[in-house]
């Protein structure tokens, strides 16, 4: 491990290396200096730290954090990011709102303190210009490398203690527009300008124009496949797993799922099935559970209360094994599913993974193990001890967003969600089943129907910034226009504002009830 201490612009001191002349290379930017170190020391962790935080650097913790090579950590102890918070206008991802109290996935890196392995740096240095602004360089590196398999985190454990908050320099709108132009599609630059005008009553047209002269960096070829990953973390001990499956009206599909589990090379210990039928006097449709012999224990729960959130919460309380597989009743998969998934869980040292979940004939978009934007309640494997901290939000029952909310709860405990491109679970997207009786929504008779769905709005309120919600509002306005009947854009805008306000009202009502 080599530690670079810097003063914002240049490296002023080194630790754990004697053969490198600082004065000779004092003219170099921090990124360029790190390039030289990565070339000379290809098997070291490169750590940077602002000179003012030298005494707070938690050196003993750093090697534990780097349990494999494809990792990038940094931390800003002063509670603000390098980029303007208005990045939320065009970035809806969970990586834009960082929980600085826990280990949290994000591309928003900081020059205050951080670390990366030389093997990674040696690859990305040729694809990303060595900016004089080290913060910009780090954010660019992370933004471009996350989709390629680099796991990037805000990590408070990098420091022993957190210094008192200070007033940092005012954010630079020119830098924000430049970053958007270089790391997003060009249309987002114009949308950012529009959102500034709509919600900030500002019109930074000059920063927008200047940004158009910068070349987009997304076409750059970063390939980290040559870096071998083998985590030193031990996340699997017993290796036992329970499966939970909520079901309603899909007995034939569920039977096929159970048959697929029965063929597994690694068998689950127990499968918990929560069968829902809201009709009074109804009984189970799953006679084959007792009529046939299965190579695992099946715990069958029958309830007249419909709803996937309630069903999954019931099942989660019944789990006993070290791991839990959240499955659906219309999945199909190979006999090696669990064996292959556990191989990658061990390799990456991850307590939560979401498995690739394509529908028939759907083309795969992601081919690397990456930090996932959301969470799949029908295709994820979780270490059971995490379930003591999270549950499915009943306020989102019969709506949308419960999967994403569950994933955000996990992230806010300091647990990341990794996506596995292999193995695959085929999602049949069965047309039968669903809700036997259509749920009565509290707002369904309102004169002005909420837009978006109040459950979606509740997710936005709980897990996104004000800027992210307003950016989503702009996008929804344009997307929804073609599907509604009001064709006069001014009348439509007036009506849309009423719908948005109604959605916020009901979202807050759901929050109170929950």
Taking only the tens place, the pLDDT of each residue in 211-226 is 999 999 987 789 999 9
- For residue 464, being part of any structural domain is answered with yes
Short-list 434, 92, 159, CA closest to 277: 434
Shared domain check, 299 and 362:
yes
For 269-289, letters b (16+ CB in 10 Å) and e give bbbbbbbbbeeeeeeebbeeb
| pLDDT number for residue 280 | 85
Q: What is the mean pLDDT of residues 281-306?
A: 95
- For residue 359, being part of any structural domain is answered with yes
Q: What is the mean pLDDT of residues 365-373?
A: 94
Cα(8)–Cα(238) distance, rounded to whole angstroms?
Answer: 47
CATH of the domain at 266: 3.90.550.10
Q: What is the mean pLDDT of residues 67-85?
A: 92
| pLDDT number for residue 439 | 75
Number of domains in the chain: 3
- For residue 68, being part of any structural domain is answered with yes
| pLDDT number for residue 321 | 98
| pLDDT number for residue 164 | 64
| pLDDT number for residue 16 | 86
- Structure-token pair, residue 332: 């199909």
pLDDT band at 165 (very low <50, low <70, confident <90, very high): low
- For residue 136, being part of any structural domain is answered with yes
The whole model's pTM is what?
0.94
pLDDT band at 24 (very low <50, low <70, confident <90, very high): confident
Shared domain check, 391 and 328:
yes
| pLDDT number for residue 328 | 95
- For residue 203, being part of any structural domain is answered with no
| pLDDT number for residue 417 | 98
If DSSP codes are grouped into helix, strand and coil, which group holds residue 50?
A: strand
Which residue is listed with tokens 């919460």?
313
Shared domain check, 148 and 93:
yes
- For residue 118, being part of any structural domain is answered with yes
Strand pairing partners for 352? 382
Shared domain check, 479 and 379:
no
| pLDDT number for residue 168 | 58
Q: Which domain-ending residue is among 158, 173, 191?
A: 158
Least confident window among 114-118, 294-298, 489-493: 489-493
Neighbours of 175 (CB within 10 A): 18
> 18: exposed, middle or buried (C-beta count within 10 Å: 0-12, 13-18, 19+)?
exposed
Neighbours of 165 (CB within 10 A): 10
Q: Which domain-ending residue is among 158, 182, 203?
A: 158
H or E element in which residue 153 lies: strand 151-154
Shared domain check, 468 and 393:
no
- For residue 72, being part of any structural domain is answered with yes
Shared domain check, 398 and 261:
yes
Shared domain check, 411 and 273:
yes
Shared domain check, 489 and 365:
no
| pLDDT number for residue 457 | 97
Shared domain check, 403 and 355:
yes
Mean pLDDT of the chain: 93
Shared domain check, 467 and 408:
no
- For residue 408, being part of any structural domain is answered with yes
Query: Residue 477: which domain range?
Result: 454-513
Shared domain check, 18 and 153:
yes
* Strands 104-105 and 151-154, bridge-based pairing: antiparallel
Q: What is the mean pLDDT of residues 439-467?
A: 93
| pLDDT number for residue 436 | 53
Bond into 161 cis (ω within 30)? no
Shared domain check, 502 and 357:
no
Q: Which domain-ending residue is among 99, 133, 158?
A: 158
């Amino acid at each position: 491990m080599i530690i670079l201490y810097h003063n914002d612009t240049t490296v002023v001191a080194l630790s754990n290396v004697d053969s490198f002349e600082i004065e000779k290379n004092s003219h170099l930017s921090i990124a360029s200096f790190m390039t030289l170190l990565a070339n000379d020391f290809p098997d070291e962790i490169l750590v940077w730290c602002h000179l003012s935080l030298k005494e707070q650097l938690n050196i003993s913790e750093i090697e534990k954090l780097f349990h494999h090579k494809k990792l990038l950590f940094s931390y800003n102890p002063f509670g603000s990011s390098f980029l303007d918070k208005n990045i939320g206008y065009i970035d809806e991802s969970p990586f834009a709102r960082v929980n600085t109290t826990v280990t949290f996935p994000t591309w928003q890196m900081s020059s205050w303190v951080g670390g990366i392995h030389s093997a990674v740096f040696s690859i990305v240095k040729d694809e990303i210009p060595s900016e004089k602004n080290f913060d910009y360089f780090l954010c660019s590196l992370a933004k471009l490398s996350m989709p390629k398999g680099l796991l990037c985190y805000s990590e408070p454990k990098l420091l022993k203690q957190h210094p008192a908050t200070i007033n940092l320099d005012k954010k630079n709108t020119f830098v924000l527009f430049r970053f958007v132009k270089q790391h997003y599609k060009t249309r987002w630059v114009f949308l950012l300008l529009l959102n500034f005008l709509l919600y900030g009553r500002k019109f930074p047209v000059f920063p927008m124009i200047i940004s158009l002269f910068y070349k987009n960096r997304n076409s750059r070829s970063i390939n980290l496949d040559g870096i071998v990953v083998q985590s030193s973390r031990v996340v699997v001990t017993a290796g036992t797993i329970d499966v939970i499956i909520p079901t309603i009206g899909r007995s034939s599909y569920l039977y096929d799922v159970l048959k697929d589990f029965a063929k597994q090379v690694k068998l689950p210990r127990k499968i918990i099935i929560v069968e829902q039928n809201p009709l009074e006097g109804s009984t189970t449709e799953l006679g084959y559970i007792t009529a046939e012999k299965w190579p695992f224990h099946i715990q069958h729960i029958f309830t007249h209360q419909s709803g996937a959130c309630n069903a999954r919460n019931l099942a989660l309380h019944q789990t006993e094994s070290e791991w839990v597989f959240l499955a659906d009743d219309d999945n199909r998969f190979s006999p090696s599913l669990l064996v292959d998934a556990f191989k990658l869980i061990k390799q990456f040292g991850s307590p939560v993974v979401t498995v690739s979940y394509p529908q028939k004939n759907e083309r795969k978009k992601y081919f690397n193990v990456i930090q996932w934007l959301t969470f799949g309640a029908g295709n994820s494997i979780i270490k059971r001890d995490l379930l003591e901290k999270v549950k499915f939000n009943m306020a989102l029952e019969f709506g949308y967003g419960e999967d994403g909310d569950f994933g955000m709860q996990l992230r806010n405990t300091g647990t990341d969600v990794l996506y596995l491109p292999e193995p695959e679970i085929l999602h049949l997207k069965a047309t039968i089943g669903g809700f036997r009786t259509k749920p009565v929504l509290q707002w369904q008779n309102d004169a002005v129907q909420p837009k978006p769905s109040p459950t979606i709005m509740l997710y936005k309120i709980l897990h996104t910034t004000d800027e992210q919600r307003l950016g989503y509002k702009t996008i929804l306005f344009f997307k929804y226009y073609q599907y509604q009947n009001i064709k006069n854009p001014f009348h439509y805008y007036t009506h849309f504002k009423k719908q948005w306000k109604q959605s916020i009202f009901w979202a807050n009502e759901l929050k109170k009830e929950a």
